[in-house]
Amino acid sequence: MTNTLSHSPLLKVEHLGVRFAVKRNGFFGGKSYLKAVDDISFELARGKTLAIVGESGSGKTTAALAVGRLVEAFHGKVQLDGKDFLALSDDDLRVARGKIQFIFQDPYSSLNPRLRAKAVVREPLDSLTDKSEAEKQEIIDQLFAAVGLRKEQQELFPHQFSGGQRQRIGIARALATEPELIICDEAVSALDVAVQAQILNLLRRLQEERGLSYLFISHDLGVVQHMCDTIAVMYMGRIVEYADRKSLFNSPQHPYTKALLSAVPSVKKRGVSQAQAQMIDGDPPDPVNLPAGCRFASRCPLAAEVCRQKEPELGVLSDAHQVACHMVE
């Protein structure tokens, strides 16, 4: 897209698809498939942040899990440093897993309640590296300092921490194997606003210090606007708009993106928003029985005949902006 992306990106996802079998028509009925992620492609440059935004059911989390091989992809490639991560096995996979780590949403369920904080951070070191005990302890000490926790807190159990502190432990765990890519799955949406700011600042500081790349999954457009360089908007398993930060937020093209942006209540655009608000009514289509045309057509204020017949492809608008809509010139 922009020139930073043109020479070898860290992560290149091509035609990724994930489908789940759904039982239909009772016990003897045939299987139907829910295409949770349907043929999406994107790139992430080293040291940058790419956001996938969308509402529940858009497939954004499934896409992230598929990139990290925590959900099996049905087709597509996930290239990390030029190697197809989905095709690796055994030792190669073990090394590669250390390069992709996750930060999860719920600070209350993402830490094993039976492990002490230091054991939580140690887990990836034990499984993915062959370091000595002393080296592991040194890494743990250094990570606790990096995420702003005290050394004596290493001995505590997760329930003795607050939500924000737990999320810091989760971040330390993600950093343990010195990954290049961190997938943040709604990493701050379960936190109180004041704590959320602490964690977001921490994530940005760590990115600068360590040259990390983030794949940032979120439904909160304010957070995305603050954190990300490139944004992919997903709807019903598809990317409908893909653009860099400024062009997406300053001139959104897809009617769904526009509706999404205008729906966010904000103190900064008071007065403006209500006049411009674009309500979208209706319900999304049944994800197992998708309509022939554009998946957004049933709720779209601009939908025309062509939208109901032909599915729009992601078209290039400029080198920093792609959109999948028949109604955009």
Partner 1 sequence: MSPLLEIENLRVELTTRDGSAPVIDDLSFSLNAGETVSFVGESGCGKSMTALAILGLLPAGIGRVTRGSIKFNGEDLTKASDARMREIRGNEISMIFQEPMTSLNPVFTIGEQIAEVLREHRDMNAAQARSRAIELLDAVRIPNAKGRVDDYPHQMSGGQRQRVMIAIALACEPKILIADEPTTALDVTVQAQIFELMRDLGREFETSIILITHDMGAVAEMAERMLVMYAGRKVEAGPVDQVIDHPKHPYTKGLISCVPHLLAELTDERPPLAEIGGIVPGLAEFGRNQCLYAARCPLADDKCLQERPLPLAGKNGHEAACWHVEKVS
Partner 2 sequence: MSVTRINLQEELQKPSHPFKEAWVMFRSNHSAMFGLIVLLIVIFAGVFGPVLYQGDPFDMVWAPFSPPGEEGYLLGTDYLGRDLLLMILHGARVSIAIGLAAAFLTVVIGITIGALAGFYRGWVEEVLMRITEFFQVLPTLLFSMVIVALFGASLPIVTFAIGVVSWPPVARITRTEFLRIRELEYVTAARASGVSNWKLIGRVILPNALPPIIVQAALMVGSAILFEAGLSFLGLTDPNIVSWGQIIGSNRQYILDSSYIVTIPGLAIFITVLAISLVGDGLNDALNPKLRKR
Q: How far is the CB of 219 from partner 1 (least distance, A)?
A: 7
Lay out the site mask for partner 1 across 236-265 (x = CB under 8 A, - = otherwise).
Answer: ---------xx--xx--------xxxxxxx
Judged by CB under 8 A, the residue of 30, 113, 271, 282 near partner 2 is: 113
Judged by CB under 8 A, the chain residues 189 through 228 that form the site for partner 1 are: 192-198, 200-201, 204, 219, 221-223, 225-227
Q: Which residue has the tokens 């043109």?
A: 6
106 binds, among partner 1, partner 2, none (CB under 5 to 8 A by kind): partner 2
- Contact window for partner 2 (CB under 8 A) among 31-39, 90-98, 205-213, 243-251: 90-98
Determine if 283 is a binding residue for partner 1 (CB under 8 A): yes
- Contact window for partner 2 (CB under 8 A) among 11-19, 123-131, 245-253, 290-298: 123-131
Determine if 164 is a binding residue for partner 2 (CB under 8 A): no
Using CB under 8 A, count the residues that bind partner 2. 30
Asked if 129 contacts 213 with a C-beta cutoff of 8 angstroms, the reply is no
Judged by CB under 8 A, the residue of 156, 197, 290, 328 near partner 2 is: 156
Beta carbon nearer to partner 1, 31 or 246: 246
62 binds, among partner 2, partner 1, none (CB under 5 to 8 A by kind): none
Of 1, 33, 29, which is closest to residue 17 (Cα–Cα)? 33
Judged by CB under 8 A, the chain residues 39 through 68 that form the site for partner 2 are: 65, 68
Residue 303 neighbours by CB under 8 Å, 6+ apart: 294, 296, 297, 327
Beta carbon nearer to partner 1, 137 or 298: 298
Determine if 275 is a binding residue for partner 1 (CB under 8 A): no
Tokens of 17: 């698809």
Determine if 116 is a binding residue for partner 1 (CB under 8 A): no
Judged by CB under 8 A, the residue of 10, 11, 37, 111 near partner 2 is: 111
Judged by CB under 8 A, the residue of 25, 56, 89, 132 near partner 1 is: 56
Q: Report the alpha-carbon distance of residue 259 to residue 263 in Å, rounded.
A: 6
Judged by CB under 8 A, the residue of 123, 178, 313, 319 near partner 2 is: 123
Q: Spell out the SS3 assignment of the chain.
A: CCHHHHCCCCEEEEEEEEEEEEECCCCCCCEEEEEEEEEEEEEECCCCEEEEECCCCCCHHHHHHHHCCCCCCCEEEEEECCEEHHHCCHHHHHHHHCCEEEECCCCCCCCCCCCCHHHHHHHHHHHHCCCCHHHHHHHHHHHHHHCCCCHHHHHCCHHHCCHHHHHHHHHHHHHCCCCCEEEEECCCCCCCHHHHHHHHHHHHHHHHHHCCEEEEEECCHHHHHHHCCEEEEEECCEEEEEEEHHHHHHCCCCHHHHHHHHHCCCCCCCCHHHHHCCCCCCCCCCCCCCCCCCCCHHHCCCCCHHHHHCCCCCEEEECCEEECCCCCC
Binding site for partner 2 (CB under 8 A): 65, 68, 70, 94, 97-98, 100-102, 104-106, 109-114, 123-124, 127-128, 156-157, 159-160, 162, 170, 173, 177
Binding site for partner 1 (CB under 8 A): 55-56, 162, 164, 192-198, 200-201, 204, 219, 221-223, 225-227, 245-246, 249-250, 259-270, 272-274, 277, 279-281, 283
